[in-house]
Amino acid sequence: MVVSAVLIMWATPAWYGASVPWRAVPTVTLLGFGLYQLNRISDEPEDSINNPEGAEHAMARAGLLHALALTSVLLAVGASFVTRPQWGGFLVGSLALAGWAYSRPVSGGRDRSSMRLKQHRWSKNSIPALVWTMATVIYPATVAASVSLPRVALVAIAVGVGVLTIEIAWDIRDAPGDLASGVATMANTVGARRALAAPFAIAALAATLVVSLVAARVLKAAWLWPAVVVPALPVVAYALRSRLASDRMWSQVLVVANLLALVTIGMLGREIAGI
């Protein structure tokens, strides 16, 4: 996850008229690392079925992982307040709270797992996509000297589609443990086909807009590449849906495909910007 965050912050800024926002990298890296460790612990009910080895490894180090998670998140929020603009600290703080509530129960009760935001179908996939996009695109854009806001929006949509696609793909893979633990996901409630139709529809609409703007000479022709690549990601996930459900390796193949797509987009963007 940390590698993905850094890669997104390297690949995308040139597309909205900025250089790599290195000042934002420590904050986003710490935030992503902390929330990931928290998620490893909170996923124990599901992972005890889906990934017993990983769950056992995480729970054996639960105290350490909790300490790492809390320390990393607090450092991320602190770093964001000393990085201009300082109001970005409130954005990062909000993302940290959302990520924390996503994994941890928001209040006490006998069935604490039912109070996690990740237990509910729409928040299970939408919150990671939103938090990841805000952290790796919107927050870095606030640190940049000057940006094109419409292009920031297009980049945010692209990244959001990629994250949502991976989230749904992982839910297809993790359906047995999710169902046994009472975790409602788009994949196990409406099915893989309809679930993956959501990111594809968003990407297709954005791609149509990009093609129109290229035709109107508002955007450069290079924008046609992400307009093709981004809608292809949920299509590839759909083609792999049966393999995702039977072999965890294919979920990693999909992640690598996303990262390779990011590399091509980043290289093209930097060439256009003359970086």
Predicted pLDDT of residue 246: 87
Q: Is the pTM of this model over 0.85?
A: yes
**Predicted confidence (pLDDT) per residue in 162-198, tens digit:** 999 999 999 999 999 998 888 889 999 999 999 999 9
**Predicted confidence (pLDDT) per residue in 15-55, tens digit:** 998 988 888 999 999 999 999 999 888 888 888 998 889 88
Q: Which residues contact 118 (CB under 8 A, 6 or more apart)?
A: 42, 102, 103, 124, 127, 183
Average pLDDT, integer, range 192-221: 95
Q: CA-to-CA distance for 93 and 74, rounded, in angstroms?
A: 9
Question: Does pLDDT of 113 surpass 50?
Answer: no
Q: CA-to-CA distance for 30 and 217, rounded, in angstroms?
A: 40
Question: Does pLDDT of 272 surpass 90?
Answer: no
Across 38-75, b (16+ Cβ under 10 Å) vs e yields: bbbbbbbbbbbbbbeeebeebeeeeeebeebbeebbeb
Q: What value does the mean pLDDT of the chain take? A: 89
Q: How many domains does the chain have?
A: 1
Per-residue pLDDT band for 110 (boundaries 50, 70, 90) equals very low
Q: Which residues contact 216 (CB under 8 A, 6 or more apart)?
A: none
Average pLDDT, integer, range 255-260: 90
* Cis ω before 52 (30° cut-off from 0): no
Predicted pLDDT of residue 146: 80
Q: Give the domain extent around 55.
A: 2-273
Predicted pLDDT of residue 112: 47
Would you state the structure tokens that stand for residue 145, as one six-digit string?
Answer: 């000297």
**Predicted confidence (pLDDT) per residue in 123-134, tens digit:** 888 999 999 999
